[in-house]
Structure 1
Amino acid sequence: MIHLERVNGDTIWDILKLTVADHQKNFVAGNDVSIIEAYIAITSNGYAFPFGIFEDDTPVGFVMIGYDKDEYWKDAPAIADGNYNLWRLMIDKAHQNKGYGRQAVELALRFIRSKHHFPLTM
């Protein structure tokens, strides 16, 4: 069963090993860059929620949700103000075409719908 787990000390190394096919690398940032951007957002008074996508205990992808804008997102679209954003979605090359991306987006939306007010908690 697909589920999301927050990236933490137990999951980070598995998430960092995930990658897309070579011909897809221009379409999504690496998970290392995404996790760095999450850290920068959080330390700049922003909100970022990086999750590993797991099929049971197997990591199959990465998704990151953001809220609003942080101090460094200079070119953010106006719609980002006060809204949740799907910042990243990637499925490892070995796990693509199994419906995991669609399921991960559904779980991300469930997470967003569960957040009713600030401060956000997990």
Structure 2
Amino acid sequence: MSEIHLTAITKENWYEVASLHVTTEQSKFVESNATSIIQQQFEPTLQTYAITVNQQIIGFVMYNRQLEELNGYWIYRIMICDSHQQKGYAKQALKLIVTEMKQLARKPLIIAGIHRENHASIALFKAVGFINSGHHFGKETAYILSINE
């Protein structure tokens, strides 16, 4: 399996990251990367990365380095471009994100809000150890990973 990396988003690669897309069905569950990149410019506690494999940009991730609801750190976005899905990249990338977030954590929770109909994302986060917290935010359910385990 190819090695996944989290790569800084720069003036040289931002457009390529912004141009990535998920399937039409998945697009109702995640904001565009362009919107997320703009959001990060106005919310400096957000951390963004391109997800790369063999130096090719295949995805995007964004999380908050500041504590939020449920007294945890939230993963806002994770996406793999539709042409690179079903290869195990999302799971590898999520594990890298969790490892990085553990370094900043002053509290033991990492949280992701997942749309209740986004079964692929639910399965992904569960596979990495996240559990349904029972907390709902609109159409999303908070999935929590306790990092003290």
Q: Is the 8 A contact 2:7 2:49 kept in 1?
A: yes
CA RMSD of aligned residues (A): 1.6
TM-score of the superposed pair, with normalisation by structure 1: 0.78
Corresponding position of 2:75: 86
TM-score of the superposed pair, with normalisation by structure 2: 0.65
Q: Is the 8 A contact 2:6 2:52 kept in 1?
A: yes
Gaps of 5+ in 1: 70-75, 118-122
- Tell me how far apart the structure 2 counterparts of residues 109 and 100 of structure 1 sit (CA, whole Å): 14
Q: Is the 8 A contact 2:59 2:79 kept in 1?
A: yes
1:8 positional shift: 1.3
Corresponding position of 1:100: 89
1:114 positional shift: 2.3
For the pair 1:57 / 2:55, whether they are aligned, the reply is yes
Corresponding position of 1:21: 23
Matched-pair identity in %: 28
User: Aligned pairs, how many?
Assistant: 104
The structure-2 alpha-carbon separation of the partners of 1:116 and 1:24, relative to structure 1 and needing over 3 Å to count, comes to closer
Q: Secondary structure at the match of 2:37?
A: helix
Q: Secondary structure at the match of 2:90?
A: helix
- Tell me how far apart the structure 2 counterparts of residues 97 and 115 of structure 1 sit (CA, whole Å): 30
Corresponding position of 2:5: 3
Deviating above 2 A after TM superposition, structure 1's stretches of 4 or more consecutive aligned residues are 114-117
Gaps of 5+ in 2: 107-149
- Tell me how far apart the structure 2 counterparts of residues 5 and 89 of structure 1 sit (CA, whole Å): 14
Bigger RCO (CA 8 Å, 6+ sep) = 1
The structure-2 alpha-carbon separation of the partners of 1:27 and 1:115, relative to structure 1 and needing over 3 Å to count, comes to same
Which residue of 100, 103, 107 corresponds with 1:111?
A: 100
Corresponding position of 1:35: 37
Q: Is the 8 A contact 1:15 1:62 kept in 2?
A: yes
- Tell me how far apart the structure 1 counterparts of residues 35 and 4 of structure 2 sit (CA, whole Å): 24
Q: Secondary structure at the match of 1:22?
A: coil
Q: Is the 8 A contact 2:8 2:48 kept in 1?
A: yes
